[in-house]
Amino acid sequence: MRHKKSILLIIVWMLILTSFTGIHATIRTINGVAVPSDFPDIQTTVLGETAPGRIFMSSTFFDSGSRSNYLIICENDGTPYFYRKYTRDYLGCGDFKVQPNGLLSFHKYIHGEDGLWIVMDQNFVEIDTFTQVGRDRTDSHEFVMLPNGHALLNCDHDSTIDMSQIVTGGNTNARVISMDPQEVDSEGNLYWEWKSLDHLDIADSYANLRQASIDYTHLNSIAVDYDGHYIFSLNRFNEVCKVNSTTGDIIWRLGGRNNEFTFITESTMIASQHHARPVPGQPNHYTIYDNAGGGNSRGVEYSLNVGARTAEKVWEYYDNQQNGMMGSVQRLDNGNTYIDWSDNPPLRAVEVDASNNKVFEIQVNGISSYRSYRFDWDGMMLKPYLLAESKPEAVELIFNKFGDTDVKEYEVVGGKTPGATEILYTTSNTWAELTDLDNSSRYYLKVCAVNHSDQRSDYSDMVTVDVQYSIPGVNLIVNGDFSSGTSGWEIVNQSTGQGSGSISNGEYKVQITNSGTDYYHVQLVQESFPLIEGRTYALEFDAYADASRIIEPRVAQNGGNYTNYSKTSAIYITPQKQNFSYEFVMTDPSDDQARLVLNCGSSNIDCYFDNVSVAEFVESDVAIRKSEQPNQFELSRNYPNPFNGSTAVKFYVPESSHVKATVFDITGKQVAEIANSPHEAGLHTLRFNSSDLSSGVYFCRINATTLSGSNSFEQSQKWILLK
């Protein structure tokens, strides 16, 4: 009999899934490599012989508030060779590149904090970080690792200056931002520093010197020249200069108000440039990404005669692009040149040969990159990289042991506890769709790679997944009744808000130490459940507080603009426990990472929550309205159905009646009695808790007999319990 019940449950489950129109589990792949759903769209065209190597990029700006940060290395055809996903914090990632010592580096912006430079080895392992010493911020514009193990990085420093003494109409209390390069050793100690204010006259800057905040240098690139001295690009000075790496003295200045060179092949000097690099193997040759060229940005190369102070343009390339920021020029080993025109999304870059014939184009929709590059570089992960996305109909796992060509298959291991070792799935693909996990449950998953000699790699980092199949009527919230303690829930404190959470009498208590000044300064949050565009959902919860106060419930976007999908507003709760219910249509694009937020800030009064639910709305097959008074028995469908945890059924009796409601399993065995008592005339609700039952098909039989004995009613319903 148990075998028959399992088959029936599988059939029911399949029928439920196939009845959902418009939902299909589809893992996105690029030439066989699985990528997350928000991975940017890479389009490439190969038109000739490119230099060896792959394209390196990082997401700096986005076209979508819900897009994540990525580091990306791709082949000429756009196939990902490597990627790493970071949550979106402030701007994104910056300047992902190969250093002269073969290590990788990139800048990571951190929301509300100082950023930092991260260094990775050839196994893509983060092995070091670098930050400023004694300055205000670690700037994102440049990072160079030196042969002695030191690093050059740019730093921001704020000074308060009376600009009215420098320019008419200047602010008497101006914030002046100087960018001060530092050389930092491997232990994080300051070795050398170049202070802009000691070498550059503010009055020579082309910045608006009458503003309250003035970025007067905007030093946006640093490079090591053939003789070990440094090349700086000073954007606000329209100048590229060479600086002595020991004394800090300026050796020469090209462009700007202090230009020392005669441009012998053109009359227009550089302006608002964003990148300056020595040409490898050609002393006194420099490529510059220049924004002065007649309305279009260009890549340009100058040959400098330092003794005669002349600058000869020996190469340039336009591509009908105009940038207000970012952009770069990279001379490659075969003589080709890679030019990044990226500004706002999309990223655009080209590679041209020595005759300026375009041999390669790339456009990456969805992001722009501060700089992108081509590097001839190989690496290999020691263990797979694993990401998980909980979709409406499956848990999608995306994994890859990047750089390893000897992978035969992957094994997915996990379960409901962190130490689970059960093999759940084996595949030769770089993805897996898990559709048979228990709904509204938390799983701990990891992956190993198996090579063709049947050797297993180390396991990936473990990911935690809250399974949230979007089944009409099934609660998308994990642990909504708090029977598993605080699992699945998090207190998030913003600004000065300070709150904590605990379970009290089976309810979640939000204890507030400092309320902050806004509702969102203390939040009870659950993240990462799916909402589908066009579907109707119901948000429901019980709430009360130690004293009357206001809270704000929201089903919302997780990041970006934090769109309020449920369109709910602040509500009033009292010491009397109340049930709150809201119906809403998902009018925004589908979101598989939505979040429920109960905003509890702006008041120091503790509050309590229970029976929290977000579920796709199911219309009852019998419409019972309190305003109507039917003269016969009425019974609605239970809601939700299928259900997990609990379900409820409404019925109407036209006069006082004895009501009995019993639940049976598929064998006919009674498993519960949920009513057996008199009920007054009117509308009633019976609630059924299934915590001690297993998944399966159940039947509820309701019998009502009027106390006068004049009438009776009996009806059975099929209920589906899915855990």
pLDDT tens column, 577-614: 998 988 899 998 888 789 999 999 999 999 999 999 99
**Who's near 241: CB < 8 A, 6+ residues apart?**
231, 232, 234, 250, 251, 252, 253, 254
Cα 469 versus chain centre, distance? 21
| pLDDT for position 621 | 40
Structure tokens at 693: 């039952």
CA distance 387 to 404: 18
SS3 at position 152? strand
List pLDDT tens digits, range 351-362: 999 999 999 999
Inform me whether the pLDDT recorded for 5 exceeds 50: no
Do 445 and 412 form a contact (C-beta atoms < 8 A)? Answer: yes
How many residues in the chain?
723
- Band (pLDDT 50/70/90 cuts) for residue 237 is very high
The per-residue pLDDT for 437 is 84
Given a contact cutoff of 8 angstroms between Cβ atoms, the answer to whether 401 and 447 are in contact is: no
Report the pLDDT averaged over residues 184-198. 95
- Helix H, strand E, coil C: the string for 412-446 is EEEECCCCCCCEEEEECCCEEEECCCCCCCEEEEE
CA distance 499 to 519: 12
Six token digits for residue 478: 């994990």
The whole-number pLDDT of residue 571 equals 92
- How many C-beta atoms lie closer than 10 Å to residue 321's C-beta? 16
What pLDDT digit, counting tens, does each position of 529-573 carry?
Answer: 888 888 889 899 999 999 999 999 999 998 767 899 999 999 999
Q: Provide the pLDDT for residue 325.
A: 75
- What pLDDT, on a 0 to 100 scale, did the predictor assign at position 407? 97
3-state class of 240 per DSSP?
strand
- Copy the structure tokens of residue 115: 């950023």
Residue 521 makes CB contacts below 8 A (sequence gap 6+) with 493, 494, 495, 496, 497, 515, 601, 602
Q: pLDDT tens for residues 27-83?
A: 889 999 999 988 999 999 999 999 999 999 998 887 766 678 899 999 999 999 999
* Structure confidence at residue 415 as a pLDDT band (50, 70, 90): very high
Of 107-116, 331-340, 486-495, 616-625, the range with the highest mean pLDDT is: 331-340
Question: How far is the C-alpha of 700 from the C-alpha of 91, rounded, in Å?
Answer: 55
Supply angle C-alpha 343, 261, 325, rounded to 5: 10
- The pLDDT of 238-250, averaged and rounded, is 97
CB 261 within 8 A of CB 315: no
* Cβ(156)–Cβ(145) below 8 Å: no
- Phi, psi at residue 80, to the nearest 5°? -65, 130
pLDDT of residue 622: 43
Pairing state of beta strands 61-62 and 498-504? unpaired
Looking at residue 552, its pLDDT comes to: 95
58 vs 466 pLDDT, higher one: 58
Cross-strand bridge partners of residue 399: 386
> What is the three-class DSSP state of 563?
coil
Mapping DSSP to helix (H, G, I), strand (E, B) and coil, where does residue 281 land? coil
Contact status, residue 286 vs residue 310, Cβ threshold 8 Å: no
| Residue 20 or 191, more confident | 191
Q: pLDDT at residue 6 above 60?
A: no
Give the pLDDT confidence score for residue 72 in this predicted structure. Answer: 97
The pLDDT of residue 630 is: 53
Instruction: Quickly state the pLDDT bin for 89 (edges 50, 70, 90).
Output: low
Quickly tell me which residue has 């064998």 as its tokens: 667
- Dihedral of CA 558/559/565/569: which sign? positive
Three-state DSSP class for residue 280 = coil
Strand runs labelled E in 536-590 = 536-545, 549-556, 571-573, 578-585
User: Is residue 585 exposed (0-12), middle (13-18) or buried (19+ Cβ within 10 Å)?
Assistant: middle
Pick the closest to residue 552 from 566, 571, 527 (CA basis): 571
H-assigned helices in 414-558: none
When the pLDDT of each residue in the chain is averaged and rounded to a whole number, the result is 88
From 397-406, 454-463, 573-582, the region with the lowest mean pLDDT: 573-582
> How many Cβ atoms from other residues are within 10 Å of residue 16's Cβ?
17
pLDDT of residue 21: 32
Instruction: Detail the DSSP E strand segments found in 428-567.
Output: 431-434, 442-451, 463-466, 490-493, 498-504, 507-514, 522-531, 536-545, 549-556
DSSP β-ladder status, 275-278 and 571-573: unpaired
pLDDT of the residue at 112: 52
Q: Is 717 exposed, middle or buried (0-12, 13-18, 19+ CB in 10 A)?
A: middle
Mean pLDDT along residues 310-334: 88
Give me the DSSP letters along 268-290. PPP-S--EEEEPTT-TTEEEEEE
Spatial separation of the C-alpha atoms in residues 655 and 665, rounded to whole Å: 31
pLDDT in the model for residue 10: 38
- Comparing 2-6, 259-263, 706-710, the range with the smallest average pLDDT is 2-6
Q: Are 513 and 500 in contact (CB under 8 A)?
A: yes
Residue 486 has a CB neighbour count (10 Å cut-off) of 14
Eight-class DSSP state of 168: T
| Residues above pLDDT 90, as percent of the chain | 61
Written as six digits, the tokens of 688 are: 């059924």
510 or 68, higher pLDDT: 510
Tell me: cis bond preceding 346? Omega within 30 of 0 counts: yes
More confident residue, 9 or 329: 329
- The answer, yes or no, to whether residue 293 has pLDDT greater than 70, is no
- Could you give all domains of the chain from N- to C-terminal order, each with its CATH number? 29-375 (2.120.10.30), 381-466 (2.60.40.10), 490-616 (2.60.120.260), 634-721 (2.60.40.2550)
